Copies of this chain bind each other. A is one copy, B any other.
């Protein structure tokens, strides 16, 4: 269980930064090199590489060296862990609301038969 927790920790933490979300949004439109990804960001390359490394450690992207450039792309099913966790919580929450609605309906029926 701790293993899944760690994975989700890295996953959500990586998403908790606007620079990194912007990188992901760019990669959702197709693969790109480090240089292409870095260009729009007013930041030194080493700093930018730190963000890429976090995304890769979180399993959100994969990278591969091709000659002297590194090509980055979204990992397959990159967002699945986050989406699954969120969907699960909302299902539990929604289920609770449904039961509450049913309870309220019962009360109404008892009051106005």
Contact = CB atoms under 8 A, between A and B. Distances in A.
Where chain A touches its partner, the secondary structure class is helix
Contacts of A8: 15-16, 18, 21
A17 B28 contact: no
In the complex, the count of this chain's copies comes to 2
A79 B15 CA distance: 14
B16 A96 contact: no
A106 interface: no
Given A9-B17, A16-B13, A21-B8, A79 B90 contact: yes
Interface residues of A, number: 33
Contacts of A18: 2, 5-6, 8-9
